[in-house]
Chain A
Amino acid sequence: MSATNEPELLPPESVAAIGTVSEHVYVVTARDIRRYAQAVGDPNPLYYDEEYARASRHGTIVAPPLFCHALAFEDVPAESLRADGLPAELDVPLPTTRAVGGASTFEVGALVRPGDVITVHKVIEDIYRRSGRSGDLIFVVLGTTFTNQNGEVVARERATFVNR
C-alpha cells in the first residue's frame, strides 16, 4: 500500500503527516465495559454479571473482544475538533473535506478487565491516493496499539479511513 503515496499525488503537508504519533492512557472501569457492551447490544453476562463471570474461566468480568474501540480516541475538548467532529486522530492535513470509516484489521490479545490501565499508542502509518468511481479518494491508515499495565498488548488495530 505505501508504494502508492507518491509525493506528486499528495500535498507535502499530507505526506509530512505520515508517521505522526500520539499517545494517551485510560483506566478501564466495569462501567466502561458495561456501556460498550450495551452500545453494541451484546447481552453476554460475562460483560455485566460479576457472579456469572467469577464462575467462568476468566474469574472476573471481561470486556468484549473489540472493546478497545472505546479507548481509541482521546478525550480532547469539542473546541479542538474540526467542525464536522472528526476524531482528532484522523484530522490530518488533506485536500478533502469528508471522511468515513473503511476497513479494519483488529488483533485481540489478553481480554481487558476492569482496573486495567491501557496505554493507547497511535501512529498515522500511511496516507495514499486512489482513483475511485466518484473521483479521487485519499486513504488514511491509523495504527493503534493498546498495551496494559503489565506490558501485554491487549489489542492492535490497523484501520483505514476514506477521505474525499
Chain B
Amino acid sequence: MTSSAELSWEQLVPGDPMRELVKVPTPMQLFMFSAVTWNRHLIHYNTEFARADGLKHVAVHRALIGGMLAQMISEWIGDDGAIQSLEWSVRGSAEVNRPLKLVGHVTGKRQVDDDLLVDCDVRAEDEQGNVIAPGTLRG
C-alpha cells in the first residue's frame, strides 16, 4: 500500500483499528454469489437442505465472507493500496438478514524495497460480537 489522503502508512501503529464495514448478507445476495461463482451447492440456497444440516438458514459462502473482508480492507487502504494475501477461517455460522461486522486492526508494518506493507488481524463478527471468521491480512 502507499499513503493516501485518508490513510497514511507512516502514521500507522500497531493496534490502530481498520475502518469497519457492516454488511447484511441476504438470501438474494447468496443466490447472486452462488450464480457468479457457479457454485450450485444446495446449502447456499435451499433452506430445507441447510436446516437438515443443522443450520438456521442457508449458509453464507466461505468465499463471500472472504470477499466482504477484502471489501473492508480495500475501502480502508484506498485505490492506491493492494492486498497481497488474505487468510480467513469460517468458525461459526453467519446468519442471513443479520448484520455482519467486518473489522480489524494493525499488527505490524514493514518496508520491502519500495513497498510499504501493513499486517493486520481481521475478522467477521455477528451483532453479539461472536467471531464468525478470524483472519490475517498482508497488504
Q: Do residues A106 and B62 form an inter-chain contact, with CB atoms below 8 A?
A: no
Q: Do residues A65 and B82 form an inter-chain contact, with CB atoms below 8 A?
A: yes
Q: A72 at interface (Cβ–Cβ under 8 A)? A: yes
Q: Do residues B90 and A102 form an inter-chain contact, with CB atoms below 8 A?
A: yes
Minimum CB–CB distance from A59 to chain B (whole Å) comes to 12
Q: Interface range on chain B: under 10, 10 to 19, 20 to 34, or 35 or more?
A: 35 or more
What is the total of A-B residue contacts with beta carbons within 8 Å? 120
Minimum CB–CB distance from B63 to chain A (whole Å) comes to 4
Q: Do residues A106 and B66 form an inter-chain contact, with CB atoms below 8 A?
A: yes
Q: B32 at interface (Cβ–Cβ under 8 A)? A: yes
Q: B117 at interface (Cβ–Cβ under 8 A)? A: no
Report how far A105 CA is from B49 CA in the complex, Å: 28
List the B side residues contacting A56 at CB < 8 Å: 79
Tell me the count of chain A residues lying within 8 A, CB to CB, of chain B.
Answer: 39
Minimum CB–CB distance from A153 to chain B (whole Å) comes to 12
Q: A36 at interface (Cβ–Cβ under 8 A)? A: yes
Minimum CB–CB distance from A104 to chain B (whole Å) comes to 6
Within 8 A of B (CB), among A74-125: 75, 78, 81, 84-87, 98-108, 111
Q: B74 at interface (Cβ–Cβ under 8 A)? A: yes
CB within 8 Å of A: which residues of B?
A: 23, 29, 32-33, 35-43, 49, 53, 59, 61-64, 66-68, 70-71, 73-75, 79-80, 82-90
The 4 A-B residue pairs whose C-beta atoms are closest, nearest first, are A101-B62, A103-B89, A85-B40, A39-B32
CB within 8 Å of B: which residues of A?
A: 32, 35-36, 38-42, 44, 46, 56-57, 64-66, 69-70, 72-73, 75, 78, 81, 84-87, 98-108, 111, 159
